[in-house]
Amino acid sequence: MTRRSITGFVLAGLAVALLLALGVSHFASSEPDGLERVALDQGFAGSATEHGTAGSPLADYAVSGVQNSWLATGLAGVIGVLLCFALGAGLVLAIRWTRRRPAARASTPRS
Amino acid sequence: MHIPDGFINAPTSIIGAVVAAGLIAVSIKKAGDTLDDRQLPLAGLVAAFIFAMQMINFPVAGGTSGHLLGGCLAAVLVGPWVGSLAMSVVFIVQALVFADGGLTALGLNIILMGYTTCFVGYGIFWLLRKVLPRNRSGVTMAAAIAAWCGVVAAALVFTFYYAVGGTGGAPVGTVAVAMIGVHMLIGIGEAVITGLTVGAVMATRPDLVYGARDLRPALVADEAAR
């Protein structure tokens, strides 16, 4: 049998990720996470130092200069999702580029 | 669970960075041995989805929140080698662009939240698959339980970091108990999200689930019959 295309699946998955980042991230809890909670309770939270990229325009998942906090977070999320998609796919593309073997082509009609 | 700069001392962080670089090199080599065309967009999709899910902290008991780590999910969907690379991409983007997770702690974070959850999760998933039913719900259940184990394992790995190079002088024993306790709760969220996601992919495109590739002929035939 032929293998089904995955374009539709990837586009649908990407749409879900974008929706989560754009719409749902606003409702995320802002309470300290598990590690932060332990650090606070155990008294080593103060050891944290200023982040090296704290001045980044997207620091802390908010686009600097955007007043509306929902929009600032949502846009930062969208940028992050697209960046991760591009870098994840790009990394695999680069690996494949350096490893192009005849076996990889021959295996295509496998299942 | 992103470790900021300062929690773990510089020598330990440097060792973490070297070890993480080595692990990524191994993943690149291993992923290259088995790559097929379809893993290219799927690797991007897994990284994108996990980035989005990690933005969504859910509340757990006592003024504390947690979010998906996602290594087990990534490993079940695209395999542990490609999965660990997708996870590494997420942590690199978070640290460099979003100031989440320290720069000196980046290697530690990649090992903690990426490799630990990926490989502990996938190992347990693989064991559970042997005892659970060989069908969609068996795969989903195995992924969910393994995801919980991966988060608890990550809490143990942090405790190990803290024992080796922790700052602030908290006793290691109490850090261990606190980390494991809170992450047993956060792990429930991880298990639910992993189970729902794997279940949804198994329901729509079971042929794309790396962790269920032994079931592929049966599942595809099953789908064709419907």
Whole-number pLDDT of residue A87: 97
Can you give the residue range of the structural domain that contains A95?
1-26+57-111
Q: Is residue B49 part of a domain?
A: yes
Distance (Å) from the alpha carbon of A1 to chain B's nearest alpha carbon: 10
Q: What is the ipTM of this complex?
A: 0.93
Ranges of chain B with pLDDT below 70: 218-226
Whole-number pLDDT of residue B226: 56
Residue in B closest to A56 by C-alpha: B97
Domain count, chain A: 1
Q: Is residue A39 part of a domain?
A: no
Whole-number pLDDT of residue B39: 87
CATH number of domain containing B57? 1.10.1760.20
Q: Which of A79, A101, A91, A9 is nearest to B84 (CA)?
A: A91
Q: How far apart are CA B48 and CA A16, in angstroms?
A: 10
Q: Which residue has the higher pLDDT, A52 or A17?
A: A17
Q: Is residue B3 part of a domain?
A: no
Strands in chain B per DSSP E: 58-60, 64-66
Which helix (H) or strand (E) covers residue B11, if one does? helix B10-34
> Torsion angle of alpha carbons B148, B78, B110, A84, nearest 10°?
-120
Q: Which amino acid is at B26?
A: V
Angle B169-B174-B177 (CA atoms, 0-180°, nearest 5)?
Answer: 140
Are the Cβ atoms of A39 and B94 closer than 8 angstroms?
no
Q: Which of B85, B44, B84, B87 is nearest to B68 (CA)?
A: B87
Q: Is residue A46 part of a domain?
A: no
Domain count, chain B: 1
Tokens of B49: 């989805």
Task: Indicate if the pLDDT at residue A111 is higher than 50.
Answer: no
> pLDDT digit string (tens) for B183-215?
999 999 999 999 999 999 999 999 999 999 998
Q: Is residue B170 part of a domain?
A: yes
Contacts by B106-109, CB closer than 8 A, 24 or more apart = B106/B17, B106/B20, B107/B13, B107/B16, B107/B17, B107/B18, B107/B19, B107/B20, B107/B21, B108/B3, B108/B8, B108/B12, B108/B13, B108/B16, B108/B17, B108/B20, B108/B161, B109/B2, B109/B3
Q: Is residue B84 part of a domain?
A: yes
Are the Cβ atoms of A92 and B31 closer than 8 angstroms?
yes
Q: Is residue A21 part of a domain?
A: yes
Tokens of B28: 């690149």
- Chain A contact set for B39 (CB, 8 A): 92
Q: Is residue A36 part of a domain?
A: no
Q: Which residue has the tokens 């754009």?
A: A22
Give Cα B27 to chain centroid, integer Å.
14
In this prediction, residue A38 has a pLDDT band, given cuts at 50, 70 and 90, of very high
Q: Is residue A18 part of a domain?
A: yes
Can you give the residue range of the structural domain that contains B19?
10-225
Q: How many helices (H) and strands (E) does chain B have?
A: 9, 2
Give Cα B126 to chain centroid, integer Å.
15
Beta carbons within 8 Å of A44's beta carbon, 6+ residues apart = B7, B166, B167, B168, B169, B170
Tokens of A17: 């990720």
Q: How far apart are CA B38 and CA A93, in angstroms?
A: 11
> pLDDT digit string (tens) for A70-107?
999 999 999 999 999 999 999 999 998 888 754 545 45
Q: Is residue A95 part of a domain?
A: yes
- Chain A contact set for B168 (CB, 8 A): 39, 42-47
A75 at interface of B, judged by CB pairs closer than 8 A:
no
Q: How far apart are CA B64 and CA B194, in angstroms?
A: 21
Q: What is the mean pLDDT of chain A?
A: 88
Q: Is residue A79 part of a domain?
A: yes
Residue A65 CB coordination number (10 Å):
7
Are the Cβ atoms of A77 and B52 closer than 8 angstroms?
yes
Distance (Å) from the alpha carbon of A7 to chain B's nearest alpha carbon: 8
3-state class of A5 per DSSP?
coil
Q: Is residue B5 part of a domain?
A: no
Q: Which residue has the higher pLDDT, A4 or A67?
A: A67
In this prediction, residue A1 has a pLDDT band, given cuts at 50, 70 and 90, of very low
Alpha-carbon separation of residue B177 from B158, B180, B196 (angstroms): 12, 5, 29
